[in-house]
C-alpha cells in the first residue's frame, strides 16, 4: 500500500526542514504562487497539505473551498515567525461545524 503524499506550502525557510522527513515542499512567497501550489497538489492527489499561517492568510478563500471535502486534509501550521493562532482556530471551527458546540471552550455554560 503506497504512503499518502504529504506536501507543504510556505516560505522556504519555514518548510525546508519538512523535506527531511519526506514531505514534498512547495516554497511560495506570493498569493499567486501559493494558489498555484495548492491547486497543483490537489490535482496530484496529495492527501495532506500543510500550509503555513502566513500563506493561509493569503489563500484563505481557496483553502475554504476544500474544507468540506475529506481529502485533501489541509492543516494550518505556524511558520518560522511563530504562531498566530490561525491553525487552532481552523480546528475549532471544524469541530463546531461537526459537533455543533465548541468542545474546547473552558467556560461552563
Domain ranges of the chain: 6-99
| 24-79 residue pLDDT tens | 999 999 999 999 999 999 999 999 999 999 999 999 999 988 877 778 989 899 88
Say how many C-beta atoms besides its own lie within 10 A of residue 36's C-beta. 15
31, 58 contact by CB (below 8 A): yes
61, 69 contact by CB (below 8 A): no
| 16-39 residue pLDDT tens | 999 999 999 999 999 999 999 999
CATH placement of domain 6-99:
3.40.50.10580
- How far apart CA 19 and CA 70 sit, in angstroms, is 24
Computed from CA positions of residues 34, 59, 79, 101, in that sequence, does the dihedral angle turn out positive or negative? negative
pLDDT of residue 96: 66
The helix or strand, by DSSP H or E, that contains position 75, with its residue range, turns out to be strand 73-77
The pTM of this model reads: 0.78
Amino acid at each position: 500500500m503506497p504512503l499518502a503524499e504529504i506536501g507543504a506550502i510556505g516560505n522556504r525557510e519555514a518548510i525546508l526542514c519538512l523535506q527531511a522527513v519526506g514531505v514534498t515542499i512547495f516554497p511560495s512567497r506570493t498569493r499567486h504562487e501559493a494558489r498555484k501550489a495548492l491547486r497543483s497538489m490537489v490535482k496530484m492527489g496529495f492527501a495532506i497539505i500543510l500550509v503555513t499561517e502566513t500563506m493561509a492568510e493569503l489563500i484563505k478563500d481557496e483553502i475554504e473551498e476544500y474544507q468540506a471535502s475529506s481529502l485533501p486534509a489541509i492543516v494550518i501550521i505556524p511558520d518560522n515567525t511563530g504562531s498566530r493562532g490561525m491553525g487552532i482556530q481552523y480546528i475549532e471551527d471544524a469541530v463546531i461545524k461537526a459537533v455543533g458546540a465548541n468542545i474546547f471552550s473552558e467556560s461552563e455554560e
